[in-house]
Structure 1
Amino acid sequence: MFSTCSQRFAYGLALFALLSSQACSKIRLDGDLRTPSGMGSAETLADVELRNRTVEDDPLWSGAFQHQLFVRELSQVPAEEYTLLGSYLDNGAAYVIVHPAFYTYFHDWQGEDPSSPLSNALEISLAAPKWSAVAAVGTAQDKALRDFLEIATTQERLVLLVLPHSDDTPRGRAYRRFVNEVTNASPSVVVVYSRSPDEGELDAVEARRLARLWTALDKPTLRIGGGYVGRCIAGFQASVSDLIDPSKLEVLSDLSAISPDDLGDDAARRLLRPDGSLDVDRATTAMFERGLTGPNLARLARLSDAKSER
């Protein structure tokens, strides 16, 4: 149907815009969407929920967006456009998310049931009974990061996604769809690639490219999250530490997942609130106790709907 990747990309953006324009009636929030700091206005939350229940449940969306990412790779952004990305900074900071939803799509991949009314593996996992506290923590961490990405991309905050190269396996297609669903074809998202799903390190070319972007943006703070802290996140930090001032690399405990391999069931149980959500205070303490973080550990500040004045 399409002769080039650029044609598929243009088609995807046009399809997203068309379906979004058809989602014209407001809906009632069901309270499922939540971010670690409660960020996002009611209007932003309503926009996200509406899109999730209309655009992303449309068969055209679910079919088209398994095959290609509809956010730009940093390698596709001309250097002269780097400064334009500065308009998406959040009070002088950008977000770096390493391997989002790693637990669901890599650590404990269970596949997707085509007959399920739920649209992706994370939703299926959230709805399924949990047979261990470790599994519950893994899923809760993925959900917290999913909710953050939904809102940050809707508010057009600058998000740098560190993703593994994907393939055309069922998992690869499912992961592309998940990434498309949580990034919403946002112009504020750019992608760089890690060496492998098990490593957060960038190769030398990607690391230099990211460093050039960082410099063009006047060296903003990079707020880092994803999975796992002390593992892929540490790998990402190590791969850029000679090119980017380490004092500008902050790990956000709200958005950083602990590997199940670093938790026992008893420890995992202590990280869960009665409603099944993650207790970030206790998770932060667990990161410290296990020596999983560096000196720059921070908490996510509440995001307003006002973008940076840059």
Structure 2
Amino acid sequence: MAGSAPGGAPASIETRLPAEAIKAVPVRHYGRWLSGVIVIALLVALVYAFAQGNVQWHAVPDKLFDNTVVQGAGRTLMITVLAMVLGVVLGVVLAVMRMSKNPVTSGVAWLYIWFFRGTPVYVQLLLWFNLALIFPILNIPFIYKNEMTDVMTPFMCALLGLGLNEAAYMAEICRAGIQSVDEGQAEASHALGMTQSKTMRRVVLPQALRVIIPPTGNEFINMLKTSSLTVAVTYPELLRATSSIGSTSYAVMEMLFVASIWYIAMTSVFSVGQFYLERRYSRGTSRSLAATPWQKVKANMGSLRSLGRVS
């Protein structure tokens, strides 16, 4: 017969046993291991094929930091940065013009974007390079007069060809960023007495940067690689520098490997910077920030250790 607990409540005759801990066994994904082995085998086969090829591998490290190559890489970075600055500034102007209620202004912006997005960069570079065939003399009354061949240097052709083309793409990126800002922001600014230009500068554009900056990083990396097309206008950038060395040393493929290493190194550095820039501007818009490369490595190492313990 059960006794009574203090206060008149009947005492429980059942004994509560602790719940047994659940032993979770990770599922073994044999398909992942099989696909990993296949990929590694293909990579080994590719490396072996190049190792057996007729390649002067000693020329790659010998010429990797050659003075001409390093100077070409520096000119590649310089033309990339300057063309990107020109493209961003002109792209913002074109985006504002494109969204203008003035049909002439928006029409001119649309025509610019239509032309420069519709023609290849290579063709545009050649158009600037051969502009002297149409206009032998550049004559701006009372301001400047000179032969077009002296004005359109390889550097100027590269800057205009890359920068003006990039402006067309940046205009669409900026327009998408501006349109992502709620219209109520601009309406509230106008209600406070702010002009259209001041509203754009102080209210709309700062908020639009969250959308504009990530794809701008992609455009910069793409510009870095597209700059190799300036070899068509004899601009002495990285590809032209390595090609010149390859043609005189009969190491054409080897110098192309050198150029590829430099391009990969530069794009990798800027890709890391782009990752952290995107991560910074994603704060407040996503519940959790993307894992950094080091955090991903630690997580993968932890999963490998757990699989080793299970096996």
TM-score computed with the length of structure 2 as normaliser: 0.23
Q: Which has the larger radius of gyration?
A: 2
Q: Which has the higher strand share?
A: 1
TM-score computed with the length of structure 1 as normaliser: 0.23
